[in-house]
Amino acid sequence: MRGGDALLLLIIAISLLLVIGDGTSGGAVSGWIETSLYDQARGFGAAIRWIGWGLLPFLALPLLAGLLGRFAGLPNPLENLFNRIIGLFDSVSTVVGDAARWLALALVVVTATVVIQRYVFGFASTKLQESIIYLHALLFLLASGSTLLADGHVRVDIIYSKLSERGKAWTDMIGTYLALFPMALLILWVSTPYINASWRILERSRESDGLPLVFMLKTAIPVFAVLMILQGLSMAMRAALVLSGKDAPPVHRTAGQEP
């Protein structure tokens, strides 16, 4: 079993336990969510934000290491540290991406169900229709890191494929610091009050019979930004190793990914 499959099963199990617990406790779980979830999430979010600010200078480490390694060589302890961090961040992207891939299957099944219900049986379910939006958004947001790892994002490749390994490393390094990191940090900065407002009211669908999880769906936006930052760091560290004349860890691709 892949790590992503285990993660998905864990999420499903927790969700089922919450539903069962709410039913057997006469709505106690729903009551706690309505009265206490925002306060708990706000405290957790504040802690994560301070940790993020504390780790922000760490983003510059691959760039500095690449410049140092290019001209003076990279110390072995730093090389070992980069290899371990690359392995960790690649694993995070792979696990989340493996879990997200099931959303594609669910998207097809739910879409087909909605079409059959509407045009064959003349019945429409608001929850099912809204779930298509959820599945589509979550698929693209949560699979972004693993897609970057697999070099699957769209790029206009005119020069890159013809460059040397060090040329590609410089291109990856510059692109990460001029495009990826600023974009991801801007998303985090702009989305924070947006997500906070959604959690404050536990935002739900505007339709009375719609899904009550809009606040959870919007939380995928900062998660997407964090996944991109982590995988961007992995990419920058690989580039730093190449610029230093070291061997970068190979990208372990799963079945179905092109080399």
pLDDT in 10s for each residue of the chain, 259 residues? 788 889 999 999 999 999 899 889 888 988 998 889 999 999 998 899 899 889 899 999 999 999 888 888 888 899 999 999 999 999 999 999 999 999 999 999 999 999 998 888 888 888 899 999 999 999 999 999 999 998 887 776 778 888 888 999 999 999 999 999 999 999 999 999 999 999 999 999 988 888 999 999 999 999 999 999 999 999 999 999 999 988 888 876 543 444 3
Is the CB of residue 237 less than 8 Å from the CB of residue 74? no
What predicted TM-score, i.e. pTM, was given to this entire model?
A: 0.91
Give the rounded distance of the alpha carbon of 134 from its chain centre: 15
pLDDT of residue 95: 95
SS3 at position 143: coil
pLDDT of residue 154: 73
List the structure tokens of 167: 């040329």
CA atoms within 13 A on the CB side of 5: 2
> DSSP assignment of 25-51, as one string?
TTSHHHHHHHHHHHHHHHHHHHHHHHH
pLDDT of residue 252: 66
pLDDT of residue 257: 47
Cα distances from 192 to residues 33, 63, 240, in angstroms, run: 21, 27, 31
CA atoms within 13 A on the CB side of 47: 5
User: Looking at residue 257, what DSSP letter applies?
Assistant: -
Q: Where are the alpha helices (DSSP H) in the chain?
A: 3-24, 28-55, 61-72, 76-120, 126-142, 144-149, 165-175, 181-200, 214-243
List the structure tokens of 213: 């999880």
